[in-house]
């Protein structure tokens, strides 16, 4: 069979989805625990709603921009660009958190 539905690729794909799901579960539990302990109860519902809205909107933006990025720079460079952006956001959030606590 031609394409991604090749039988030899099905097991690694299912294994990757399974591992992603397991790790996503741990990250979600940890994130929710920190979120609930850091935000006051009166603002918790609004903060969680904002988080969900931000998550959905970022997925929509990613779906809209992915084909453009792939066509203009290619797959390998797209991963590099997105990786640099993600690392930059993590470092920026960590720096902002340290500045806020100081």
Domains contained in the chain, number: 2
pLDDT greater than 70 at residue 3: no
Compute the average pLDDT of residues 12-38: 86
Q: Is the pLDDT of residue 10 over 80?
A: no
Q: Is residue 89 part of a domain?
A: yes
Given a cut of 70, is residue 98 above it in pLDDT? yes
User: Do 101 and 62 reside in the same domain of the chain?
Assistant: yes
Instruction: Tell whether 44 is covered by a domain.
Output: no
Query: Comparing 5 with 10, which gets the higher pLDDT?
Result: 10
Residue 87 lies in a domain: yes
pTM as predicted: 0.56
Q: How far is CA 77 from CA 61, 69, 74, in A?
A: 19, 9, 6
**Can you give the residue range of the structural domain that contains 27?**
1-38
Site of tokens 């991604």 = 4
Using CA atoms, how far apart are residues 13 and 71, in angstroms rounded to an integer?
24
Same domain (yes/no): 57, 102: yes
Residue 91 has pLDDT above 90, yes or no: yes
More confident residue, 5 or 64: 64
Domain membership of residue 22 (yes or no) is: yes
């Amino acid at each position: 069979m031609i394409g991604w539905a090749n039988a030899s690729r099905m097991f690694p794909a299912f294994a990757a989805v399974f591992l992603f799901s397991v790790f996503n579960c741990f990250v979600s539990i940890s994130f929710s625990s920190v979120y609930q302990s850091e935000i006051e109860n009166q603002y918790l519902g609004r903060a969680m709603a904002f988080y969900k809205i931000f998550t959905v909107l970022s997925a929509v933006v990613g779906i809209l921009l992915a084909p453009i990025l792939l066509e203009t720079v290619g797959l390998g460079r797209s991963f590099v660009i997105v990786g640099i952006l993600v690392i930059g956001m993590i470092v920026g959030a960590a720096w902002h958190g340290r500045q806020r606590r100081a």
